[in-house]
């Protein structure tokens, strides 16, 4: 056991969907609150260290999904728990709608790539402008939301951070469906992660819409002395695939903002070309290969 703490406790938050488990966890771990509500997918967790009776206690707190369809995933996390908090939801969170703030677009983005390439760090940097040096593997799927302004349009980005481990592929593969953009991430200091990019592209071909926009990212370009995948090599692969390419550093906040703006711009551009094509053909529907994109002035955004 590390000398940094005296005890390590595993806690579970359980209860129905929408009772506020994720908000309780966010308030306790980060002293933050997000008014919008999106269901936890499978399991999420956070860590906080506390002092109690002269002892240092590390709390590993698991936020389990309340939906019946995820019970087979979450049930295994009961084993080994030292404490369970049952939330019966004396109050309910209201789901947000696009009426609360005028949105022109809602884009679903995926971050994919091998484990430890820095997907979660890129997402944390973009969504919260934060960086955590310690690494904990994403369990299944995590997500964050950020609204941006681009070319006079308000765009809400719903960004899904998928686990890179093989054992989670059955969970994460379903999230390819309906994605408007996919960011493939490799580690500039790890050649294997670059070599595996084509395997991830095969998964995109298998699970995602044919017209999904893609962006290739080489992360950790701040680690110059450890770099084994050159900028030219990454750019050559992107050119071969016909997709944009950027090198980023989540740690130093290099090109992170630009990466997400680039993929949003690519999606918007593709939608514009399809709109023009639909106008020519007399159709009024904008569609990206089976996934309707519309300016929705009502109804919940959380299910999209």
Share of the chain above pLDDT 70, in %: 69
Residue of 101 and 300 predicted with greater confidence: 101
Query: Could you count the other beta carbons within 10 Å of the beta carbon of residue 31?
Result: 8
Close Cβ partners of 17 (under 8 Å, ≥ 6 residues apart): 39, 65, 66, 67
Q: What pLDDT, on a 0 to 100 scale, did the predictor assign at position 68?
A: 52
**Lowest mean pLDDT: which of 30-39, 170-179, 247-256?**
30-39
Q: Please, what are the domains in the chain?
A: 7-86 (3.40.50.300), 105-268 (3.40.50.300)
**Lowest mean pLDDT: which of 10-19, 98-107, 202-211, 237-246?**
98-107
Instruction: Copy the structure tokens of residue 173.
Output: 């593969």
Q: What is the pTM of this model?
A: 0.62
Instruction: Copy the structure tokens of residue 155.
Output: 């765009």
Instruction: Return the ∠ at Cα 119 (arms to 118 and 125), rounded to 5°.
Output: 85
Query: How does DSSP classify residue 18?
Result: T
Rg of the chain in Å (alpha carbons):
20
User: Is the distance from CB of 113 to CB of 184 less than 8 angstroms?
Assistant: yes
Q: What pLDDT, on a 0 to 100 scale, did the predictor assign at position 284?
A: 43
| Rounded Cα distance, 10 and 187, in Å | 31
Residue of 184 and 300 predicted with greater confidence: 184
Query: Could you count the other beta carbons within 10 Å of the beta carbon of residue 240?
Result: 8
**Residue 135 pLDDT exceeds 90:** no
Q: What pLDDT, on a 0 to 100 scale, did the predictor assign at position 279?
A: 54
Instruction: Copy the structure tokens of residue 202.
Output: 């095969």
Whole-Å CA distances, 5 to 50, 56, 218: 9, 5, 36
Q: Please name which of 143, 139, 123 lies closest in space to residue 131, comparing C-alpha atoms.
A: 123
User: Is the distance from CB of 115 to CB of 165 less than 8 angstroms?
Assistant: yes
Q: What pLDDT, on a 0 to 100 scale, did the predictor assign at position 233?
A: 98
**Residue 186 pLDDT exceeds 80:** yes
**Residue 276 pLDDT exceeds 70:** no
Instruction: Copy the structure tokens of residue 166.
Output: 């093989």
**Mean pLDDT calculated for residue range 12-37:** 79
Q: Please name which of 107, 92, 81 lies closest in space to residue 301, comparing C-alpha atoms.
A: 107
What confidence tens digit (pLDDT) does each residue in 28-54 have? 987 777 665 555 555 667 788 999 999
Residue of 109 and 24 predicted with greater confidence: 109
| Mean pLDDT score across all residues of the chain | 78
**Residue 259 pLDDT exceeds 50:** yes
| Rounded Cα distance, 283 and 302, in Å | 27
Residue of 218 and 174 predicted with greater confidence: 218
Ordered DSSP codes for 102-151 = --SEEEEEEEE-STTSSHHHHHHHHHHS----S-----SEEEEEEEEEET
Residue of 186 and 271 predicted with greater confidence: 186
User: Is the distance from CB of 276 to CB of 284 less than 8 angstroms?
Assistant: no
| Rounded Cα distance, 15 and 85, in Å | 8
**Mean pLDDT calculated for residue range 51-61:** 89
Residue of 162 and 116 predicted with greater confidence: 116
Residue of 300 and 233 predicted with greater confidence: 233
Q: What pLDDT, on a 0 to 100 scale, did the predictor assign at position 97?
A: 37
**Mean pLDDT calculated for residue range 102-113:** 89
Residue of 279 and 32 predicted with greater confidence: 32
Q: Token pair 């056991």 is at which residue?
A: 1
Q: Please name which of 197, 178, 182, 292 lies closest in space to residue 236, comparing C-alpha atoms.
A: 197
What confidence tens digit (pLDDT) does each residue in 197-215 have? 999 999 999 989 889 999 9
Q: If you count them, how many residues does the chain have?
A: 304
């Amino acid at each position: 056991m590390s000398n940094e703490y005296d005890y390590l406790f595993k806690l579970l938050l359980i209860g129905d969907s929408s009772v506020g488990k994720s908000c309780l966890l966010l308030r306790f771990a980060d002293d933050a609150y997000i008014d919008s509500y999106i269901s936890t997918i499978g399991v999420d967790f956070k860590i906080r260290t506390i002092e109690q009776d002269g002892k240092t206690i590390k709390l590993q707190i698991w936020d389990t999904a309340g939906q019946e369809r995820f019970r087979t995933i979450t049930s295994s996390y009961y084993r080994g728990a030292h404490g369970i908090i049952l939330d019966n939801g004396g109050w309910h969170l209201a789901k947000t709608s696009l009426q609360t703030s005028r949105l022109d677009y809602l884009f679903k983005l995926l971050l994919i790539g091998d484990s430890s390439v820095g997907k979660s760090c890129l997402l944390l940097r973009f969504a919260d402008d934060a960086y955590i040096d310690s690494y904990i593997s994403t369990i299944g799927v995590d997500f964050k939301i950020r609204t941006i302004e681009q070319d006079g349009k308000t765009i809400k980005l719903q960004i899904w951070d998928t686990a890179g481990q093989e054992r989670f592929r059955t969970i994460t593969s379903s999230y390819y469906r309906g994605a408007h953009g996919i960011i493939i991430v490799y580690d500039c200091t790890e050649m294997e992660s670059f070599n595996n990019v084509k395997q991830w592209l095969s998964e995109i071909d298998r699970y995602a819409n044919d017209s999904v926009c893609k962006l290739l990212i080489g992360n950790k370009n701040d680690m110059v002395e450890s770099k084994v995948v050159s900028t030219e090599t990454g750019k050559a692969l992107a050119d071969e695939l016909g997709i944009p390419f950027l090198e980023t550093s989540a740690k130093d906040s290099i090109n992170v903002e630009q990466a997400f703006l680039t993929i949003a711009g690519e999606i918007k551009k593709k939608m514009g070309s399809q709109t023009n094509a639909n106008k020519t053909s007399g159709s009024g529907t904008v569609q990206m290969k089976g996934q309707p994109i519309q300016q929705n002035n009502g109804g919940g955004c959380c299910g999209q």
